Amino acid sequence: MRTLQEVIRDAEAKGVAVGHFNIANIATLKAISEATKELNVPVIIGTSEGESKYVDVHRAVAMVRDLRENHGVECFLNADHTHSLDKIKEAVKAGYDAVLFDGGKLTIEENIKQTKEVVDHVKSINSNILVEGELGYIGSSSKILKEIPEGAAINEGDLTEAEEARQFVEETKIDFLAPAVGNIHGMFKGAPNPNLNINRIKQIKESAKVPLVLHGGSGIRDEDFESAIRAGISIIHINTEVRVAWRHGLETSLKGKPDEVSPYKLIEEALDGMTRVVYNRLKLFNRM
């Protein structure tokens, strides 16, 4: 079994990206596992603070370990968008493979200070646990958007700068960096998300010299993903698209089977829809 570090290095060498999908229930985990097994590619499973409050960090670790050990899925668990050292400690103690400390809304000085604290703590416990830092604000909810989230960096002047990224990585010693390159969390109904700044991704990759993580992948055009991976993105987060498939499938089942009360039968359509989303995204990210 490879470590997450080895999986990401391999993705970098092959010019592909590893998919990251969030879970808040067993159905989503099952969809990720089925799509992953079919394609035989590695995957990262994430729980945000809200999701892990519901799922429970120990339960998340046990479920991902079960997929690894009993179902042949090469998967890793990430504490997505964690805002405090206490929550990071909780995830590390529970057995997560990676953590994202999200200081994207802080000033760069404060972000460096707090992210460094997180890196020092995590590495003192287990140097194999990987730490991701976030530079630039890209909104915070995986939902259907009516407008660009307030304060999100969309204009070229607000995106993460290459020099800033180099300084941030050098001073904090993070393993991965999540920059703001035109991406935002959430997706618009019936319209694609704003364009990614591919050139900026290239510049950040050259100066930061660590694997880059693209958040807010939902709603991004296929050709933008392809260019982003070529420019240096190694991990891509998808959440809203899976949530939309879950809701849509559930609505269809509830309408079509008004007398059904069995949860595992009512979830079938949602499961199929989510599996399709994950399968198609993984296929694209792995250039298959």
| CB within 8 Å of 288: residues ≥ 6 apart | 39, 41, 282
Q: Is 219 exposed, middle or buried (0-12, 13-18, 19+ CB in 10 A)?
A: buried
Which of the ranges 91-99, 106-114, 237-245, 258-266 carries the binding residues for Zn ion, by CB under 5 A? 237-245
The residue annotated as part of the active site, out of 80, 97, 175, 224, is 80
Q: How far is the CB of 18 from Zn ion (least distance, A)?
A: 14
Q: Does 205 bind Zn ion (CB under 5 A)?
A: no
Size of the site for Zn ion (CB under 5 A): 2
Q: How far is the CB of 148 from Zn ion (least distance, A)?
A: 16
Which of the ranges 13-21, 112-120, 126-134, 208-216 carries the binding residues for Zn ion, by CB under 5 A? 208-216
Residue whose beta carbon is closest to Zn ion? 215
272 catalytic? Reply is no
Q: How far is the CB of 140 from Zn ion (least distance, A)?
A: 8
Residue with tokens 């990430």: 78
CA distance 217 to 228: 11
CA distance 226 to 129: 28
- Applying CB under 5 A, among 20, 116, 215, 243 the residue interacting with Zn ion is 215
Interface residues with Zn ion (CB under 5 A)?
215, 237
- Residue positions annotated with a catalytic role: 80
